[in-house]
């Protein structure tokens, strides 16, 4: 054949013919190929092996993920302890001058003190006259506070002669004689001088006490009182507890650091290099490919953890060094069974974290984009681990169900040797459920449609989100306006300031924002603010939901108090002086009605309606909740208000008007105002009401409103 | 439909998807296509005409919204895995694993195709010889030149000896040497009885290689046939003119103003 042979045409004969490309013509059976059915196990292993091989051949990644951290800990510990020893030796060798005024002491005791001090070599004793200091009344009280006059006096004495000043004085009461040591705690030498004086004084006190006991009780001092504090926690438990407080944090950090490289390479990197599309046309289910890649990420993460944790634990175990500030100065005692148990408890968390890592990296189109997502992920993952670093936050059923939080608390408790079996089992189940959820999301990750069509122009999509972007900008303006202007107004006068913030700041912002939305969408402001009349069922449903929601907020707040205790100064703000009963109506108007109207008009009206025009419902609700939480100006109120914001936003989307949210918001705040009168005590009725309220929203949808996507 | 005659048969292929931002996008609107065994078929069309979408549907990467497609006797929507065993797919953006050697790359994809171990080793050696890869078969792919990478990619695509080769703009982004190697390869496939379906917007490539040409525009196939048939139908001699004439015709019938 060749139609093209017949016609003259622009044709370039290749100048160089690559050898061997042309094969002899063969007749073939059209369907016959070498390809056959491949067992899932074989495919899994092939993908897994290739992932690991790629990682192992990346020397830089290998070095920074595995080798460096593993060697780093012993090195860090060694150099740390060497430094500590070095500075101790230097300090021990330092010449210390002690200024003494022992005139108030009996001569025998004074000379004994001098002898004991002289033993703390190298030391020099200088006699000083501290009469002026004593005249100021220094050392009369047992507390360690000093007046400015005393401080100046001591500084003058120290500056001239010595690093520490030891003064004896008479007391008019038992024990009649006092020794006061003054030193400058900011200098190493001052501390060292104080340490040596303290040792000498302690010895002297011991001798004097033994003497007194003998004097009073006769020849047998054993009949006296021998007091000693004994830590009943075994050394094993003590070191386990100390380790348990910081190990979860290290584990999460190290897991993310190690596994993130594998996840980036397996998903974002492969997408960037163009191999993912090829992989997806192989006769293997995409699920198998994802599974194998996930397993490679998990394996990398676990190996990193084992190497790092092993390195830390062994370094500490062999007393290679101390961890300053962690209480592990004297090394730790390892308990293999406990460590193994702790590792098992942490396993679902590792699976969950690796799956989330894969999800994040799978969304990224390039390596760099993936890297940018890792830092936020790191912060988000470290947050729920923080409670475990606090010794007194204990594992309970709710905390156990929170991803990463439950496992880290359980890990801590397991290392302490205080395992609540039931709770640990519940934690394991709940965390496995989280891991399962993440894995099931992962199965859809390599959906080919998304992979090949996700390559869209960022700038174009951004331009299309004009409504939601402008609405978000107004929300940022509102939050800052409330922070700056509102807070100032409220400092000036809490009642009028609050009223002005709501009616003169938030309300105009809502109208301005909605005016823009309305203009762009060619609607009236009312339509843009979603203020169409509600259905009766929704209005009633909102009232029914209020008590349960207020109660839930109370419970949530009480729970939050344990994780994030609120300082007492941040607590209740008194709006009106005097008996609260006198001002109930004013309170209701100011704290219930005004916020309900103004905040709803801004957040559920202007903001949510703007967001919902471009964004899927869940994202609009999430952004809405975030800003609603943020505007309340307190980290302690963020979570409760953000959740309230999400509920109000959902109701608004369902009802297609903000009025149910206004009603719920007003009754919710109203109940919190009246809470002093214990209105929230009748619980079963509230639960019943909540069910009715929810049903109202579940079974009835709002009248359709133009432009609510 | 005669499967022994037709390697690819597509009937009424449509693909529309809802882009969260752009709304509904109709990439294909009822496309019919037929390629015979041992035939080289070129798909021509401007950017956004639906070439890539068509090839991706035929290669089982995308699922069609409507219509059906048989490739080498297998319905791509009903048994995508079986279809993938009979298709070799290569696109202009296809990459290689930088840290694997060409030999390992071929072994990897051979394993994913379920080729038995001894057979695979023999096949890999055969391909290394056929595509003259031997000199760099055990060096990392990241160190290869574009032309060398292209050879490895082609070897990867024909590893399982597929009955149908689907190549999406295979010469895009290649220099003269590499793209001429590609053209040689396509030309050579004719002799082996493999059906090659490839898309391009380089008209000279199509003129030189194709047994038949399909012109695709706005998600439908405007015309298809040998170059002579197309020339007769439009009264033009050069492919470029044929293409422009068909494009103008289509715009006129759709009521779209001329550019």
Q: What is the pLDDT of residue B19?
A: 66
The tokens of B212 are what? 């038949």
Q: Inter-chain contact A14–B183, Cβ cutoff 8 Å?
A: yes
Does the beta carbon of B116 lie under 8 angstroms from any beta carbon of chain A? yes
**B174 vs A688 pLDDT, higher one:** A688
Range B16-26 average pLDDT? 71
Does the beta carbon of A421 lie under 8 angstroms from any beta carbon of chain B? no
For an interface test with B, give the residue of A2, A3, A265 to mutate (most B CBs within 10 A): A3
Return d(Cα A647, Cα A548) in angstroms, integer.
12
3-state secondary structure of B243: helix
Residues in chain A, pLDDT under 50: 1-27, 30, 323-327, 329, 454-460, 570-571, 705-709
Q: Inter-chain contact B181–A18, Cβ cutoff 8 Å?
A: yes
A4, A282, A464 member nearest B208 (Cβ): A4
Q: Work out the minimum CA distance from A87 to partner chain B, whole angstroms.
A: 49
B56, B99, B123 member nearest A34 (Cβ): B123
Q: What is the pLDDT of residue A220?
A: 59
What is the 3-state secondary structure of B3-66? CCCEEEEEEEEEEEEEECCCEEEEEEEEEEEEEECCCEEEEECCCCCCHHHHHHHHCCCCCCCE
Q: What is the pLDDT of residue A600?
A: 93
Candidates B126, B103, B114; CA nearest to A34 is B114
Return d(Cα A442, Cα A634) in angstroms, integer.
36
Q: What is the pLDDT of residue A23?
A: 41
B91, B112, B119 member nearest A46 (Cβ): B112
DSSP state of A581: G
Q: How far is CA A44 from CA A40, A49, A55, A296, A577, in A?
A: 6, 8, 17, 10, 71
- Residue A35 in contact with residue B86, Cβ under 8 Å? yes
Q: Which residues contact A430 (CB under 8 A, 6 or more apart)?
A: A400, A401, A406
Q: What angle do CA A676, A679, A681 make, to 5 degrees?
A: 110
Does the beta carbon of A282 lie under 8 angstroms from any beta carbon of chain B? yes
Chain A residue numbers with beta carbons less than 8 Å from the beta carbon of B143 are none
C-alpha A393, offset from chain centre: 14
C-alpha B199, offset from chain centre: 6
Q: How confident is the model at residue B88 (pLDDT cuts 50, 70, 90)?
A: very high
Q: What is the pLDDT of residue B128?
A: 92
Q: What is the pLDDT of residue A603?
A: 94
Does the beta carbon of A43 lie under 8 angstroms from any beta carbon of chain B? yes
Q: What is the pLDDT of residue A297?
A: 93
Q: How far is CA B85 from CA B11, B115, B153, B199, in A?
A: 22, 11, 17, 21
Name the strand (E) or helix (H) holding A329.
none
Chain B residue numbers with beta carbons less than 8 Å from the beta carbon of A280 are 61
Q: How far is CA B198 from CA A247, B167, B182, in A?
A: 57, 5, 11
For an interface test with A, give the residue of B57, B111, B153 to mutate (most A CBs within 10 A): B111
Reply yes or no on whether the pLDDT at B176 is more than 50: yes
Candidates B163, B129, B133; CA nearest to B150 is B133
ipTM: 0.88
Return d(Cα A682, Cα A690) in angstroms, integer.
13
pTM of the model: 0.66
pLDDT, tens only, A150-197? 788 788 777 777 888 888 877 766 667 778 888 887 887 888 888 888
The tokens of B256 are what? 């779209």
Reply yes or no on whether the pLDDT at B124 is more than 90: yes
Q: Inter-chain contact B72–A12, Cβ cutoff 8 Å?
A: no
User: Of chain A residues 597-626, which have a CB less than 8 A from chain B?
Assistant: 614, 616
């Amino acid at each position: 054949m060749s139609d093209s042979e017949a016609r003259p045409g622009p044709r370039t004969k290749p100048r160089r013919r690559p050898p061997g490309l042309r094969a002899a013509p063969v007749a073939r059976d059209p369907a016959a190929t070498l390809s056959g059915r491949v067992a899932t196990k074989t495919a899994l292993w092939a993908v897994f092996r290739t992932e690991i091989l790629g990682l192992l051949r990346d020397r830089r990644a290998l070095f920074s993920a595995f080798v460096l951290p593993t060697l780093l800990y012993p090195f860090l510990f060694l150099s740390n302890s060497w430094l500590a020893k070095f500075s101790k030796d230097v300090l021990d060798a330092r010449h210390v001058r002690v200024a003494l005024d022992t005139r108030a002491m009996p001569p025998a005791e004074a000379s004994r003190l001098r002898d004991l001090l002289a033993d703390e070599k190298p030391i020099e004793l200088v006699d000083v006259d501290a009469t002026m200091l004593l005249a100021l009344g220094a050392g009369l009280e047992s507390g360690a506070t000093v007046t400015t006059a005393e401080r100046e006096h001591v500084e003058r004495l120290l500056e001239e002669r010595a690093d520490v000043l030891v003064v004896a004085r008479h007391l008019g009461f038992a024990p009649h004689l006092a020794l006061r040591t003054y030193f400058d705690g900011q200098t190493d030498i001052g501390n060292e001088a104080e340490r040596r004086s303290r040792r000498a004084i302690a010895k002297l006190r011991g001798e004097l006490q033994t003497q007194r006991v003998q004097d009073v009780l006769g020849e047998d001092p054993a009949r006296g009182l021998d007091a000693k504090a004994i830590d009943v926690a075994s050394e094993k438990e003590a070191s386990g507890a100390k380790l348990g407080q910081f190990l979860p944090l290290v584990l999460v950090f190290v897991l993310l650091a190690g596994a993130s490289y594998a996840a980036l390479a397996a998903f974002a990197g492969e997408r960037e290099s163009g191999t993912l599309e090829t992989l997806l046309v192989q006769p293997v289910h995409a699920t198998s490919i994802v599974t194998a890649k996930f397993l490679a990420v998990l394996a990398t993460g676990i190996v990193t953890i084992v190497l790092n944790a092993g390195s830390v634990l062994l370094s500490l175990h062999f007393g290679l060094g101390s961890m300053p500030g962690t209480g592990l100065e004297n090394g730790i005692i390892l308990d293999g069974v406990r460590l193994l148990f702790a590792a098992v408890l942490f396993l679902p968390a590792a699976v969950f974290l690796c799956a989330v890592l894969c999800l994040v990296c799978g969304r990224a189109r390039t390596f760099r984009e993936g890297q940018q997502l890792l830092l936020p992920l790191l912060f988000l993952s470290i947050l729920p681990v923080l409670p475990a670093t606090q010794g007194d936050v204990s594992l309970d059923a709710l905390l156990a169900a929170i991803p990463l939080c439950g496992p880290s608390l359980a890990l801590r408790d397991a290392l302490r040797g205080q395992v609540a079996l039931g709770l640990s089992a519940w934690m394991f189940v709940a965390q496995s459920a989280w891991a399962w959820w993440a894995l099931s999301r992962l199965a859809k990750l390599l959906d080919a449609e998304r992979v090949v069509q996700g390559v869209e122009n960022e700038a174009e999509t951004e331009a299309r989100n004009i409504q939601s972007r402008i609405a978000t900008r107004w929300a940022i303006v509102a939050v800052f306006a409330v922070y700056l202007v509102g807070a100032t107004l409220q400092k000036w006068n809490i009642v009028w300031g609050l009223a002005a913030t709501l009616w003169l700041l938030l309300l105009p912002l809502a109208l301005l924002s909605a005016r823009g939305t309305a203009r762009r969408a060619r609607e009236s402001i009312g339509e843009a603010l979603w203020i169409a009349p509600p259905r009766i069922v929704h209005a009633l449903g909102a009232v029914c939901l209020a008590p349960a929601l207020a109660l839930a907020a109370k419970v949530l707040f009480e729970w939050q108090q344990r994780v994030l205790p609120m300082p007492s100064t941040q607590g209740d703000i008194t709006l009106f002086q005097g008996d609260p009963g006198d001002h109930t109506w004013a309170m209701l108007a100011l704290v219930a009605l005004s916020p309900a109207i103004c905040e709803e008009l801004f957040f559920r009206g202007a903001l949510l309606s703007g967001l919902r025009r471009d964004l899927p419902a869940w994202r609009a609700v999430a952004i809405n909740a975030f800003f609603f939480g943020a505007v309340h100006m307190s980290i302690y109120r963020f979570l409760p208000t953000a959740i309230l914001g999400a509920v109000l936003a959902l109701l608004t989307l369902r009802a297609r008007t903000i009025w149910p949210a206004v009603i719920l918001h007003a009754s919710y705040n109203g109940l919190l105002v009246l809470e002093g009168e214990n209105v929230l005590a009748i619980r079963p009725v509230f639960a019943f009401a909540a069910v009715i309220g929810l049903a109202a929203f579940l079974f009835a949808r709002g009248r359709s409103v133009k432009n609510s996507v | 439909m005669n499967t022994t005659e037709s390697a690819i048969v597509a009937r009424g292929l449509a693909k529309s998807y809802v882009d969260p931002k752009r709304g509904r996008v109709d990439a294909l609107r009822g496309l019919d296509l037929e390629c015979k065994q041992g035939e080289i078929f070129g798909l021509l069309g401007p950017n956004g005409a639906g070439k890539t979408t068509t090839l991706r549907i035929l290669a089982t990467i995308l699922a069609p919204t409507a219509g059906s497609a048989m490739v080498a006797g297998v319905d791509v929507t009903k048994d995508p895995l079986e279809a993938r065993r009979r298709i070799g797919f290569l696109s202009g953006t296809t990459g290689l694993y930088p840290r694997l050697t060409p030999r390992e790359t071929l072994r990897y994809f051979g394993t994913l195709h379920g080729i038995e171990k001894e057979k695979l080793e023999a096949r890999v050696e055969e391909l290394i010889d056929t595509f003259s890869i031997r000199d760099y078969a055990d060096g990392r792919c990241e160190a290869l030149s574009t032309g060398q990478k292209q050879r490895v990619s082609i070897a990867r695509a024909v590893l399982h000896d597929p009955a149908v080769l689907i190549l999406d703009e295979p010469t895009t982004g290649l220099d003269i040497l590499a793209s001429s190697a590609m053209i040689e390869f396509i030309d050579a496939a004719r002799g082996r009885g493999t059906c090659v379906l490839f898309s391009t917007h380089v008209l000279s490539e199509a003129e030189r290689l194709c047994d038949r040409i399909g012109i695709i525009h706005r998600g439908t196939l405007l015309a298809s046939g040998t170059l002579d048939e197309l020339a007769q139908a439009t009264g033009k001699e050069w492919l470029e003119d044929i293409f422009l004439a068909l494009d103008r015709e289509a715009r006129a019938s759709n009521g779209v103003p001329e550019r």
